Amino acid sequence: MEEMAKQKIYPTSLRLVDNIQFLLGQALKPAEPHLSKRIIAAIKKYYLLNIKGFKQEEMAAATCMFEGPKDICEM
């Protein structure tokens, strides 16, 4: 976000989700019907929590959306 401000690139939409909202979103995700995708999701979760050391009870999320021609939106 600091880098965007320095370059004067402003998003159309910017959302910050706190931990409670993040956990609720994770709980409300529909179950994945494909076994291979469930395995990949479990590996990703293991990597984030156990290898990278993120704490699930402290996670938050941010999303940025840009609109316009590609040459304007790229950083």
> What's the pLDDT tens digit per position in 21-57?
988 988 898 888 999 999 999 999 999 999 999 998 8
The confidence band for 74, taking pLDDT boundaries of 50, 70 and 90, is: low
Share of the chain above pLDDT 70, in %: 95
Q: What is the per-residue pLDDT for 50?
A: 96
d(CA 69, CA 6) in angstroms, rounded, equals: 20
The answer to whether 13 and 66 have CB atoms below 8 angstroms apart is no
Q: Which residue has the higher pLDDT, 3 or 65?
A: 65
| Mean pLDDT of all residues belonging to the chain | 86
d(CA 32, CA 42) in angstroms, rounded, equals: 11
